[in-house]
Chain A
Amino acid sequence: MRRPTLPTSAAVLIACAFSSDQVNAQNSYVIGYITDLSGPLADSYTPTWEGFELFIKSLNDRGGVNGKKVDVVLDDDGLKADRAVAAAKKEAERENVIGIFGLSLSSTQAPVFVEMRKAGVPVVTTFSGILDALPPSKPFSYSTGVVFEVAGEAIGELLPKIKPNGKVVGMTFDSVGGRAAISHNKRMAESLGYSWDEVLFPVTTSDFTPYAQAAVEKKPDIVVGHYGSGQNLGVIPALRRSGYAGPYVVASYGVTEDTVRQAAQRAGNDPNVYYVTRYSTVYDNTPAVMEVAAAQKKYGTSKPFSSMHITGWVLGKFVEQALTACGWPCSREKLDQSIQHVKVDASGLTGGPIEMSPQDHYGPSFWRLYQWNETARRMEPKSDWLKKTGLKFPVQ
């Protein structure tokens, strides 16, 4: 008998590996996850992915869903819309995923939603979100994240916990999301009797001193920052250097507790830094947060434990419940149907359940105000969870 040649052996091995993958694919739920792991906001999106991964690992260790493991196909969009769309198409066509989760900046979400609607693949975004999920919700488009318009209103509604009246100066970078957040923040603040002014700066800004000085010149009683981690790191010290010592509110768009600590420390151990978030912080010693912390210890993460991990963990819980309801085998259509009736118990991780309906693909969201306590070196809650259902002010 002829001995197999090296190329033949290699071909057999590849064929075996491929068929084993196929069998594996048939015996597990295959879902996709797309996010920015190498682009400008990788620092914010990576912990959200890690929190999701922690949950899926612990879920599979517990035996998976309906006796089947959950396999995640991970793709990096580098914060680029074209890469996000290409990754979504690849996952839908080649990997045959039944649903796509995660996604990065709002600008990458719209084209993915459009393409996946055509393919009939449900997409659930976390961390940030766009209006497609809000009622009247578009088909196959869901979010468990921070829709900027909702966040803007929630922050406006929480302002009286800081100061009952006065002038609010909103700061953001010139982007669709930033403008959306700031316009809803403004309308809510004005409806509560505050006066309003704002400072916008280019997305590429790194030295915030001139913009901080422009904000200080408007004589604010409260300053609200609608942007990510890096901007907060720059803006807070710049405001303090420019002579503003009043309250500063960090809107949690991927801003970790560590960023707030670092920014407060740079601003001279500043206790006047507030934080508004949809999900709990690592300082909330609830059993649910402890569970995430234990998983983080067990499986490990590259980023320090933060509320972004908690955000990803909640999405993992969402997936578990959607797949459980979907049963086995689970098609895209069935998954989409089951997602529309998900009600995740997220006690201790946010203020109430994550609840979807056929009409509302975002559901009620809960927001809480925290204050940085420099002495205790932790964030302390300054309000109860504020429940938001939809938008008070229509989008213009």
Chain B
Amino acid sequence: MEFAATVVILTCTYALLAAGVVILYKAARVVNFAHGELAIVGGYVFYSASVLGSDSLWLAIAGALVFSIIMGVTIYMSMLRRLVGEPLHVTILITIGIGIVLKSAILIIWRAERLTIDVGVAPALRLSGGASLSYMDLASVAVTVLFFLALYLFLTFTRMGIQFRGTAENALLASQRGVNVDFVLALAWIIAVIAASLSGVFFGSRAFLSTESVTIGLAGLIAALVGGLDSLRGAVAGAFIVAGTQYLTVRLIDPVLSETVPFLLLLLVMSIRPWGLFGTLEELDRV
């Protein structure tokens, strides 16, 4: 029970991260290496907004949401917009640069302090063996399910969602058909940063926020690559595989190897099925 609960909660954190990576790749052909930094800075903003609002949960949520929107729009409009159509490695370098800037922001604004998000950390559910899950743990599962459901409904049933998919398929053609590509791509960035911030908040409530914590972005990236860079379904599957593998390594093999095994898994998947478990071969060819 404890095993299942931990894996599910870890899966949710990684799935949100992986979803952001997938959305950006699908819509803008950008592999975002700053996703961990965006997640942790989102967590820091949530913390600061909560402190400013005297532990107000709603203010903290609003703060993180406003941050995600501003950050998504700013990144796209100020940097990535000019790079549409440029080779993949150019955008990768830009996202690495964004990551460095965000890490510096943690140093300058929060003085690299290790912080924990203490909202909703009280035990909400007792498991057998004395273990417990907090309200935030339960919220992370509920929010992740709602996020993916909302994304599915948005992409499948709304006009904007269809435009989004059209842009992802062929931005030039979509533009010629009257789709506001800039708006769609900025929206993709906003959704991706919201997903990252959510994972940062849940992560900060279970572990801690610091400059070192940005490495969770790697877990999200591995999950996205294992599942397939263009598949939201793959993001969930990849997150589950990474979380499960990490957990089983800790418990059954050697805890010290838990960070290495997901990379070995990635190498294995990449050597057998380079486009990921749920990705499409066509997508890989385009890269």
Binding site for B on A (CB under 8 A): 38-40, 42-43, 46, 174, 199-202, 204-211, 213-214, 229-230, 233-234, 237-238, 241-245, 259, 262, 265-266, 268, 302-303
The reply to whether B207 and A207 contact each other, CB–CB distance below 8 Å, is yes
The reply to whether A40 and B212 contact each other, CB–CB distance below 8 Å, is yes
Least Cβ distance of B9 to chain A in Å? 8
Q: Which of B116, B129, B134, B255 has the most chain A CB atoms closer than 10 A to its own CB?
A: B255
Least Cβ distance of A184 to chain B in Å? 19
Question: Which residues of A lie under 8 Å from residue B130 when comparing CB positions?
Answer: 242-245
Question: Which residues of A lie under 8 Å from residue B255 when comparing CB positions?
Answer: 199-202, 210-211, 214
Question: Which residues of A lie under 8 Å from residue B122 when comparing CB positions?
Answer: 268
Question: Which residues of B lie under 8 Å from residue A262 when comparing CB positions?
Answer: 116
The reply to whether A43 and B114 contact each other, CB–CB distance below 8 Å, is yes
Q: Which of B2, B203, B260 has the most chain A CB atoms closer than 10 A to its own CB?
A: B2
Least Cβ distance of B228 to chain A in Å? 24
Q: In the complex, what residue of chain B is closest to A234 when comparing beta carbons? A: B207
The reply to whether B259 and A205 contact each other, CB–CB distance below 8 Å, is yes
**B107 in the interface, Cβ–Cβ < 8 Å?**
yes
The reply to whether B2 and A207 contact each other, CB–CB distance below 8 Å, is no
Question: Which residues of A lie under 8 Å from residue B9 when comparing CB positions?
Answer: 209
Contact with A along B226-258 (1 / 0, CB 8 A): 000000000000000000001100110001101
Question: Which residues of A lie under 8 Å from residue B250 when comparing CB positions?
Answer: 201, 210-211, 213-214
The reply to whether B207 and A241 contact each other, CB–CB distance below 8 Å, is no
Question: Which residues of B lie under 8 Å from residue A39 when comparing CB positions?
Answer: 211
Binding site for A on B (CB under 8 A): 2, 6, 9-10, 13, 107, 111-114, 116, 118, 121-123, 129-134, 203, 206-208, 210-213, 215-216, 246-247, 250-251, 255-256, 258-260
- Cα distance, A43 to B213, chains bound together (Å): 14
- Cα distance, A270 to B38, chains bound together (Å): 32
Question: Which residues of B lie under 8 Å from residue A46 when comparing CB positions?
Answer: 111
The reply to whether A206 and B123 contact each other, CB–CB distance below 8 Å, is no
Question: Which residues of B lie under 8 Å from residue A259 when comparing CB positions?
Answer: 114
18 more contacts with CB within 8 A, not counting A40-B210, A43-B114, are: A43-B111, A43-B112, A46-B111, A204-B259, A206-B203, A206-B215, A206-B216, A207-B13, A207-B203, A208-B207, A211-B255, A213-B6, A213-B250, A214-B255, A234-B207, A242-B130, A266-B116, A268-B122
Least Cβ distance of A64 to chain B in Å? 30
Question: Which residues of A lie under 8 Å from residue B203 when comparing CB positions?
Answer: 206-207
- Cα distance, A234 to B207, chains bound together (Å): 5
Q: Which of A241, A245, A302 has the most chain B CB atoms closer than 10 A to its own CB?
A: A241
Least Cβ distance of B134 to chain A in Å? 7
Q: Which of B122, B123, B210 has the most chain A CB atoms closer than 10 A to its own CB?
A: B210
- Cα distance, A305 to B107, chains bound together (Å): 19
The reply to whether B207 and A206 contact each other, CB–CB distance below 8 Å, is yes
Question: Which residues of B lie under 8 Å from residue A205 when comparing CB positions?
Answer: 258-259
Q: In the complex, what residue of chain B is closest to A173 when comparing beta carbons? A: B256
Q: In the complex, what residue of chain A is closest to B251 when comparing beta carbons? A: A214
Question: Which residues of A lie under 8 Å from residue B256 when comparing CB positions?
Answer: 174, 200-202
Least Cβ distance of A222 to chain B in Å? 17
* Among candidates B134, B213, B258, residue contacting A241 with C-beta atoms closer than 8 Å: B134
Across the A-B interface, the 6 shortest Cβ-Cβ residue pairs: A243-B130, A210-B250, A202-B259, A230-B114, A42-B112, A233-B208
Pull 28 A–B residue pairs with CB atoms less than 8 Å apart, ordered by A.
A40-B212, A43-B114, A174-B256, A199-B255, A201-B255, A201-B258, A202-B258, A202-B259, A205-B258, A206-B216, A210-B6, A210-B246, A210-B247, A210-B250, A213-B250, A214-B255, A230-B208, A233-B114, A234-B206, A237-B206, A238-B207, A241-B131, A241-B133, A242-B130, A243-B131, A259-B114, A266-B118, A302-B111
The reply to whether B216 and A43 contact each other, CB–CB distance below 8 Å, is no
* Contact flag A206-B212 (CB < 8 Å), given A211-B250, A233-B116, A266-B116: yes
Q: In the complex, what residue of chain A is closest to B254 when comparing beta carbons? A: A200
Question: Which residues of A lie under 8 Å from residue B134 when comparing CB positions?
Answer: 241
* Among candidates A202, A206, A210, A242, residue contacting B213 with C-beta atoms closer than 8 Å: A206
Question: Which residues of A lie under 8 Å from residue B206 when comparing CB positions?
Answer: 207, 209, 234, 237-238
The reply to whether B121 and A237 contact each other, CB–CB distance below 8 Å, is yes
Least Cβ distance of B207 to chain A in Å? 4
Q: In the complex, what residue of chain A is closest to B248 when comparing beta carbons? A: A210
Question: Which residues of A lie under 8 Å from residue B116 when comparing CB positions?
Answer: 233, 237, 262, 266
Q: In the complex, what residue of chain A is closest to B210 when comparing beta carbons? A: A230
Question: Which residues of B lie under 8 Å from residue A40 when comparing CB positions?
Answer: 112, 210-212
The reply to whether A242 and B2 contact each other, CB–CB distance below 8 Å, is yes
Question: Which residues of B lie under 8 Å from residue A303 when comparing CB positions?
Answer: 111
- Cα distance, A245 to B247, chains bound together (Å): 22
* Among candidates A42, A245, A266, residue contacting B121 with C-beta atoms closer than 8 Å: A266
- Cα distance, A259 to B212, chains bound together (Å): 17
* Contact flag A38-B112 (CB < 8 Å), given A206-B216, A210-B255, A265-B118: yes
Q: In the complex, what residue of chain B is closest to A231 when comparing beta carbons? A: B208
* Among candidates A201, A234, A243, A265, residue contacting B208 with C-beta atoms closer than 8 Å: A234
Least Cβ distance of B223 to chain A in Å? 14
Question: Which residues of A lie under 8 Å from residue B259 when comparing CB positions?
Answer: 202, 204-205
Question: Which residues of B lie under 8 Å from residue A242 when comparing CB positions?
Answer: 2, 130-131
Question: Which residues of B lie under 8 Å from residue A209 when comparing CB positions?
Answer: 6, 9-10, 206
Question: Which residues of B lie under 8 Å from residue A202 when comparing CB positions?
Answer: 255-256, 258-260
